[in-house]
Structure 1
Amino acid sequence: MRGGQRTRHGEEEEESAFMSMTDMTVSFLFVVILLLAYFASKYNDQSMVPRADYDLVVQQRDDARHEVMRLRMLVAQLEVTIKELSGAIDAKQKQVDELQLEVAQLKQELEKLRRVDPLETYLALSAVERRRILETLQGQLKIDFPDLQVVISEEIDALRFQGDGLFASGSPLLRSERRTIVETLATRLAEILPCYTLGARSNWKTDCNPTHAVIEALQIEGHTDSTGDFTPNLTLSTERANNTFSTMLGKAPELVKFLNFRGQPVLSVAGYGQMRPVRDNATKEGRDTNRRVDLRIIMYAPSKSEEIRRIREALSAGLSR
């Protein structure tokens, strides 16, 4: 009896425990249902992203990442280029600095040129005027004697007659057919000298002699070929110069009245014999040319800048000092 009661009592306890577990499970499920109901009430299907939009955003994100990588590479390349350009700029700046230094040096040189000594300028311009006088004489003689070979010396200080000589071999006298050349030369000189000399015949004008150049000497130089002895040739050349001088004065006697800055006649003579040949004496043509007379122009060269003012005043006044 007691054993049956115990068994019954045990079964009741087991049944009671089972009911408790069931109640708890039901309660838990109820709570879960309540939570699901809560979350379900909070659900809003409008906050959900469509799959297509999601895929598009993902693609744009990936594209953006690729673009960032590309831009980073581009930035790296640009940094290298900038570095190279910076080096080139530095090199160019160095060149600019060197050029600026050179320009500064040139400016200094130019400034020196602007401060050229008036004396040097005057001497240079006088040389230019001498050449102009010779070229004028040469051009006029070419007009008067188209077949005449007359040149300006290499030193650009003398008028030289080429071709058949003015004198026969061994003779101090001008050939009759060449005399007209010397007379014409005298006439042309009488027209030119007034603007470059002082004295009563002086007639200086700005348009004919703007630099105020003055002729110191107009030298008639006699020359011979190498035929004969040295000393007789020296005498012969002097006689030729004197005869040329006399012929010129016979045509234009006023030539002796043209004075230099020292108050001396500019016209003078000199004989050099065979010492200054211009052609080879081994040929007849050379000997004919060496028997000649050169007309050499020597310009006055002041020793001090102060003289230039006095020269200008003398030319303007038409008188020697």
Structure 2
Amino acid sequence: MTDMTVGFLFIMMILLAFFASQMRDPDSVSKVEYDKVVQARDEWQVMAQTRAERIVLLEEELAELRLQREQMRMQIVQLTAERDRLAQDLQVARIRTEELEKRIQILLEQLAHRDAEIEELRKEIAQLKRVDPLEAYLAQVTQARRQVLIRLRDAIRADFPDLQVELSEESDALRFQGEGLFASGQPDLDQDRREIVARLAQRLDEVLPCFTVGLASRFDITCNPGFVMIEAVQIEGHTDNMGADRMNRVLSAARANSTFFAMTQTAEGIMQHLNLKRQPVLSVAAYGPDRPVAKNDTPEGRATNRRIDLRFIMVTPQDTDGIQVIREALQGVGR
């Protein structure tokens, strides 16, 4: 019985449990499900909290990105404006560059032209600087003649301070005013003026030996370093234009001859000074009124034209061979 009772009770318990399970509250859940739901709820709460925090972070990041975007837009506006300005400046610069390129090209062409001109001038200067022996010699001839004339002029001035004696404009003659040597209209030297001519002859006789050949010549390199030679020393007679032309020509010749003879009488050896052709260098010439040095419409001008010129004519070779001939002739003096 006991075993049957126990079995029965066991069956009853099973039935009661069955009916009890059938009779439970439909709204109630099992603890396992409940625990699952609670766990799910907690998980969702955590997720919601996490999402809320993420949303806050994302909204802050979104706000920062929007701010950065706005700043970028402002930078784009600024850069666009600057780009447009630079593009405009670039256009202006391009136009200016083209203008400058054209100007530079013009200047380069002008520079090339100037360089060509400079080169031509440089060549011309170099050519001019080349010493032409003949030109150099002729320059020495001119300088030597001027020095001889100055020497004679200064010596005559020292001897006769009141006498008017000057170099000609070409520095090739000593010029004596006619009133200083001759009375007006007279062909002969005044007696008191013969001393002037005599002194002039002596001074000339001191100069000629170094520039001539002949028995009285005495060449010295110190007095004639350029090896120049005198062709002629002309005593020229000149008059004003008053009176008949024939009379003036005769008068000028008479005055030149009167001076010539006075000089040769004082310095007897003066005619021994010879030129390259072995001719006496002292000679006479008469020009009458043909070569005035002043206007004849005033007494002063006419007095200036009534004069004696002592003109030095130098030997001027045509080439360097002629220079050598002169040099050899002077070096042969006294041998």
Task: Name the SS for the 2:232 alignment partner.
Answer: strand
- What corresponds to 1:266 in structure 2? 281
Gaps of 5+ in 1: 1-34
Task: Name the SS for the 1:216 alignment partner.
Answer: strand
Identity among equivalent positions (%) equals: 45
Is the alpha carbon distance of 1:85 and 1:160 closer, same or farther for their aligned partners in structure 2, counting shifts above 3 Å? Answer: same
Q: Distance in 1 between matches of 2:231 and 2:66?
A: 114
2:165 aligned residue (143, 150, 158): 150
Task: Name the SS for the 1:263 alignment partner.
Answer: coil
- What corresponds to 1:190 in structure 2? 205
Residue 225 of structure 1 and its aligned partner are, at CA, apart by: 4.3
- What corresponds to 2:322 in structure 1? 307
1:130 aligned residue (141, 145, 160): 145
- What corresponds to 1:205 in structure 2? 221
Task: Name the SS for the 2:231 alignment partner.
Answer: strand
The one-letter code of the counterpart of 1:240 is R
Q: Distance in 2 between matches of 1:161 and 1:80?
A: 79
Q: Distance in 2 between matches of 1:133 and 1:119?
A: 21
Is contact 2:177–2:308 with CA below 8 Å preserved after alignment? no
The one-letter code of the counterpart of 1:166 is L
Is contact 1:197–1:260 with CA below 8 Å preserved after alignment? yes
Task: Name the SS for the 2:179 alignment partner.
Answer: coil
What's the RMSD between the two structures over aligned residues? 3.7
Is the alpha carbon distance of 1:286 and 1:47 closer, same or farther for their aligned partners in structure 2, counting shifts above 3 Å? Answer: closer
1:107 aligned residue (122, 139, 144): 122
1:74 aligned residue (77, 81, 89): 89
Q: Distance in 2 between matches of 1:266 and 1:181?
A: 20
- What corresponds to 1:92 in structure 2? 107
TM-score between the two structures when normalised by the length of structure 1: 0.73
Is the alpha carbon distance of 1:137 and 1:40 closer, same or farther for their aligned partners in structure 2, counting shifts above 3 Å? Answer: farther
Which range is displaced more, 254-263 or 109-118? 109-118
Is contact 1:165–1:288 with CA below 8 Å preserved after alignment? no
Is the alpha carbon distance of 1:38 and 1:198 closer, same or farther for their aligned partners in structure 2, counting shifts above 3 Å? Answer: farther
Q: Distance in 2 between matches of 1:107 and 1:319?
A: 48
Task: Name the SS for the 2:176 alignment partner.
Answer: strand
Decide which structure has the larger Cα Rg and report it: 2
Is contact 2:239–2:248 with CA below 8 Å preserved after alignment? yes
- What corresponds to 2:38 in structure 1? none
